[in-house]
């Protein structure tokens, strides 16, 4: 009885672990949906793109999701928008803590290329959070709007260099540095 229970639990765990990696082809490619917010005779469109979560090149699909990584999604949607002459503005809705340096830089440059190719104004709308790479991506926009409660700031990394030289001298610690460049030991006593 215990062997059967252990076997059933093991098989269940194995199947559930694999389920996250199943891609069902019948779901097809990602579709872009247009939503009419207000009835109007205007033919022009405003594209809203969401940059949410970690900015990464890593694919993290759900069980029945075919959507790729954030860079692929944004690239695909920008390409579609650049073909649509009725798109007159882009709102990049940011709610991200940032992410990978390279992915953030690619996204930043994709926004710049889109602007150059289409001359469409881009608005960075910061929602709950737009820090690090999210802030960097926003800096590619023509206009940036942050809600009063948005957490934002800090492109890149800061360095803090406490001066411990007097302490080291007092307790008899000497530091010998071997370096190849003039600033290689920046921050060392």
Q: Is the dihedral of CA 12, 18, 19, 20 positive or negative?
A: positive
Q: What's the number of CA atoms in the CB half-sphere (13 Å) around residue 109?
A: 6
Annotated active-site residue in 132, 159, 180, 186 = 132
Nearest to 156 by CA among 171, 169, 170, 139: 139
- Residue 115 bears catalytic tag: no
Annotated active-site residue in 139, 154, 184, 186 = 184
Determine the length of the chain. 189
- Residue 186 bears catalytic tag: no
Mention every residue, 6+ apart, whose C-beta is less than 8 A from residue 56. Answer: 69, 70, 99, 100, 103
How far is it, in rounded angstroms, from Cα 157 to Cα 59? 25
Catalytic residues: 132, 184
């Amino acid at each position: 009885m215990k062997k059967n229970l252990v076997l059933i639990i093991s098989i269940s765990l194995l199947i559930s672990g694999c389920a996250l990696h199943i891609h069902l082809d019948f779901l097809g490619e990602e579709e872009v949906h247009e939503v009419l917010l207000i009835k109007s005779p205007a033919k022009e469109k405003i594209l809203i793109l969401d940059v949410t979560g970690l900015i990464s090149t890593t694919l993290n699909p759900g069980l029945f999701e075919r959507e790729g990584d954030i860079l692929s999604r944004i690239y695909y949607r920008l390409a579609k928008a650049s073909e649509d002459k009725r798109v007159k503005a882009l709102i990049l809705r940011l709610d991200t803590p940032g992410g990978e340096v390279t992915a953030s830089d690619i996204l930043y440059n994709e926004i710049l290329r889109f602007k150059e190719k289409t001359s469409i104004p881009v608005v960075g709308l910061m929602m709950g959070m737009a820090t690090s790479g999210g802030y960097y991506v926003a800096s590619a926009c023509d206009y940036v709007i942050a809600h009063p409660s948005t957490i934002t700031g800090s492109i890149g990394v800061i360095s803090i260099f406490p001066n411990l030289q007097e302490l080291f001298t007092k307790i008899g610690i000497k530091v010998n540095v071997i370096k190849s460049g003039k600033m290689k030991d920046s921050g060392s006593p």
